[in-house]
């Protein structure tokens, strides 16, 4: 079953800080940035940052977060054991759901490929 339980989330600042400070992988797109760091939990975890200055309306921020969570939920078993932070950039809120989903799919694939191509992840 594909769920998105609490154990799959980065919940507090102490979860986010190592990823921001020492990201092993960066996958960039004009509208999104993925930062990732190897973890020892045995499963991937997700954190989302959608700043108010990048998406003014709360409904848009919530829509973006919902799409990111759903794309992660569907791909979690194909992803390596990483802590991933997805940061929304300017103008992401102007794109429709299908376009955002397509971008997310491509970025998850790029992240997965990058992590598989780099041996000894987690040893910075």
Q: What residue spans define the domains of the chain?
A: 22-115
| pTM over 0.95, yes/no | no
Nearest to 123 by CA among 46, 37, 21: 37
Q: CATH second-level architecture of 22-115?
A: 2-Layer Sandwich (3.30)
CA–CA gap between residue 104 and residue 33 (Å, rounded): 10
**In sequence order, what are the residues at sequence separation of 6 or more whose Cβ sits closer than 8 angstroms to the Cβ of residue 118?**
24, 25
pLDDT in tens, 8-55: 999 999 999 999 999 999 999 999 999 999 999 989 999 999 999 999
pLDDT digits (tens, 9 = 90+) for 97-122: 999 999 999 999 999 999 888 765 44
């Amino acid at each position: 079953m594909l769920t998105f339980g609490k154990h799959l989330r980065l919940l507090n600042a102490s979860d986010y800080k190592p990823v921001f400070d020492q990201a092993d992988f960066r996958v960039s797109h004009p509208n999104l940035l993925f930062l990732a760091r190897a973890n020892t939990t045995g499963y991937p975890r997700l954190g989302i940052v959608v700043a108010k200055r990048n998406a003014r309306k709360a409904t848009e921020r919530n829509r973006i977060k919902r799409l990111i969570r759903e794309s992660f939920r569907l791909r979690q078993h194909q992803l390596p054991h990483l802590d991933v932070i997805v940061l929304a950039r300017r103008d992401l809120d102007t794109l429709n759901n299908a376009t955002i989903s397509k971008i997310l799919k491509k970025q998850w694939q790029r992240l997965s490929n990058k992590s598989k191509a780099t041996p000894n992840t987690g040893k910075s």
